[in-house]
């Protein structure tokens, strides 16, 4: 299975736009990108550990090995831009706008307390325990509510930015979708609508090679899902989903394209799903996926790829790169010393809040289900 990016499919880019946006990133930006990769990874492994300790119920949908897609695509957004994450993107809810200030709970992203309370299904969560995973959103923070219907957020995102345009605002919307969701009818209807109206919708496709138990060759007859863009005459780009800087470069080209009125785009990020579809599927997935394919797919850990880049750029010494060795390790192999203290502290604040929070009262169960009668 291919996880390396091809740079040859960049229809619609002019010379100006093809100058790499990452050329503007500072050493501090690189350090922040790496810190955010650790944070997304720590969220994943910490939740798995919490569940194994019996402190957490519900299914976990791991973004392990796919963190560079979330971190790299969110990094260049403006606070007012819209995002619509789906099941595999749980860290996106708190990574939005985090570079502004990790400790500012009023920034345009969800707080880690809200996200953890949602995962724990507590009364303090946005969903008030009606669901425990990504079925949340926040209008004031410009996070479009995630839906269970794959690709269902793309028409919503198109509508949101159309409304903003009519109100004179120059926001963009970034939707996250697995490659499997591109076979949905609504995917095509929404991308077509966005193309016709030149709406600023950036559709990220996380091509992790599997849709539940279905491999990509049974989902789509071509190799590159970015070619879906050709049918709509829109920009289609391919990023190396293991390399946060390449994701940033490709997504920022799509963002700049959208912001300058040139319309929607598809950015395919090639990656590999490290575990089962959800943690309920881990044992089964170990049987339906060839072991050598899984081993190869996990070879290029995004944390290791970024460290290598930083050493090459002189932003980190080879010795420093040995610190915080979370890369290449599963949840049962890492401990807190494999992560920067800031990352551990940040997430612990959310986990402790969630554990201490109460469950909702039973009487609440029917609230918001039927229209209240006076």
Q: Binding residue for ligand TPP (CB under 6 A) from 41, 46, 88, 300?
A: 88
Residues 46/263, Cβ–Cβ less than 8 Å: no
Phi/psi at 7 (nearest 5 deg)?
A: -100, 5
Q: How far is the CB of 248 from ligand TPP (least distance, A)?
A: 20
Tokens coding 351: 């986990």
Q: Which is nearer to ligand TPP, 62 or 357 (CB)?
A: 62
Q: Which partner from the list ligand TPP, Mg ion, none does 148 bind, CB cut-off 5 to 8 Å by kind?
A: ligand TPP
Q: Which is nearer to ligand TPP, 127 or 178 (CB)?
A: 178
Please tell me what DSSP assigns to residue 97: T
Which residue number is nearest to ligand TPP in terms of Cβ? 178
Rounded alpha-carbon distances, angstroms, from residue 258 to 77, 109, 176, 214: 12, 21, 16, 32
CA 272 to chain centre: 14
Q: Which partner from the list Mg ion, ligand TPP, none does 200 bind, CB cut-off 5 to 8 Å by kind?
A: none
Q: Binding residue for Mg ion (CB under 5 A) from 22, 208, 253, 357?
A: 208
Q: Which stretch binds Mg ion (CB under 5 A): 19-27, 97-105, 191-199, 211-219?
A: 211-219
Told to check if 289 binds ligand TPP by CB under 6 A, we report no
The H or E element spanning position 356 is: helix 341-356
Told to check if 178 binds Mg ion by CB under 5 A, we report yes
Q: Helices 302-312 and 27-52 sit at what angle, rounded to 10 degrees? A: 160
Q: Binding residue for Mg ion (CB under 5 A) from 70, 160, 195, 211?
A: 211
Q: Binding residue for ligand TPP (CB under 6 A) from 181, 242, 265, 357?
A: 181
d(Cα 367, Cα 365) in Å, to the nearest integer? 6
Q: How far is the CB of 178 from Mg ion (least distance, A)?
A: 4
CA 247 to chain centre: 11
d(Cα 13, Cα 150) in Å, to the nearest integer? 29
Q: How far is the CB of 73 from ligand TPP (least distance, A)?
A: 15
Footprint of ligand TPP on 227-266 (CB under 6 A)? none
Q: How far is the CB of 88 from Mg ion (least distance, A)?
A: 8
Tokens coding 327: 């890369």
Number of residues that bind ligand TPP (CB under 6 A): 17
Q: How far is the CB of 70 from ligand TPP (least distance, A)?
A: 12
Other CB atoms within 10 Å distance of the CB of residue 297: 20
Residues 93/63, Cβ–Cβ less than 8 Å: no
- Residue in the structure block whose two tokens are 């850990």: 301
Half-sphere CA count of 176, side-chain side, radius 13 A: 31
Binding mask 196-225 for ligand TPP (x = CB under 6 A): ----------x-x-xxx-------------
d(Cα 334, Cα 40) in Å, to the nearest integer? 14
Q: How far is the CB of 114 from ligand TPP (least distance, A)?
A: 23
Footprint of ligand TPP on 140-169 (CB under 6 A)? 148-150
Binding region for ligand TPP (CB under 6 A): 87-88, 148-150, 178-181, 184, 206, 208, 210-212, 273, 277
Binding region for Mg ion (CB under 5 A): 178-180, 208, 211
């Amino acid at each position: 299975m291919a996880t390396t990016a091809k740079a040859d499919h960049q229809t619609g880019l002019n010379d100006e736009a093809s100058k790499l946006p990452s050329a503007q990133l500072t050493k501090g930006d690189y350090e922040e990108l790496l810190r955010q990769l650790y944070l997304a990874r720590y969220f994943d492994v910490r939740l798995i550990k919490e569940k194994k300790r019996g402190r957490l119920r519900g299914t976990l949908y791991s973004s392990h090995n796919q963190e560079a897609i979330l971190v790299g695509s969110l990094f260049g957004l403006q606070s007012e831009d819209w995002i619509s994450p789906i099941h595999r993107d749980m860290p996106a809810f708190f990574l939005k706008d985090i570079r502004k200030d990790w400790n500012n709970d009023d920034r345009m992203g969800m707080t880690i307390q809200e996200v953890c309370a949602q995962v724990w299904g507590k009364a303090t969560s946005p969903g008030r325990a009606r669901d425990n995973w990504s079925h949340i959103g926040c209008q004031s923070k410009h996070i479009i509510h995630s839906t269970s219907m794959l690709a269902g957020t793309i028409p919503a995102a198109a509508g949101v930015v159309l409304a903003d345009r009519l109100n004179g605002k120059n926001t963009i919307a970034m939707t996250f979708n697995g490659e499997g969701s591109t076979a949905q009818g609504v995917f095509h209807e929404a991308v077509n609508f966005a193309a016709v109206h030149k709406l600023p919708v950036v559709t990220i496709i996380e091509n992790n090679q599997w849709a539940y138990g279905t491999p990509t060759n049974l989902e789509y007859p071509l190799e590159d899902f970015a070619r879906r863009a050709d049918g709509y005459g829109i920009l289609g780009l391919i990023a190396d989903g293991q390399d946060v800087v390449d994701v940033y470069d490709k997504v920022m080209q799509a963002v700049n394209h959208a912001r300058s009125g040139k319309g929607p785009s598809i950015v395919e990020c090639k990656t590999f799903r490290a575990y089962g579809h959800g943690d309920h599927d881990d044992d089964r997935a170990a049987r339906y996926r060839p072991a050598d394919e899984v081993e190869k797919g996990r070879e290029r850990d995004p944390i290791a790829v970024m460290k290598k880049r930083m050493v090459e750029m002189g932003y980190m010494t080879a010795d420093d790169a040995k610190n915080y060795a979370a890369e290449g390790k599963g949840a049962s192999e890492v401990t807190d010393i494999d992560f920067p203290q800031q990352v551990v502290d940040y997430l612990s604040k959310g986990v402790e809040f969630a554990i201490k929070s109460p469950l909702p009262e039973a009487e609440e169960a029917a609230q918001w289900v039927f229209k209240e009668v006076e």
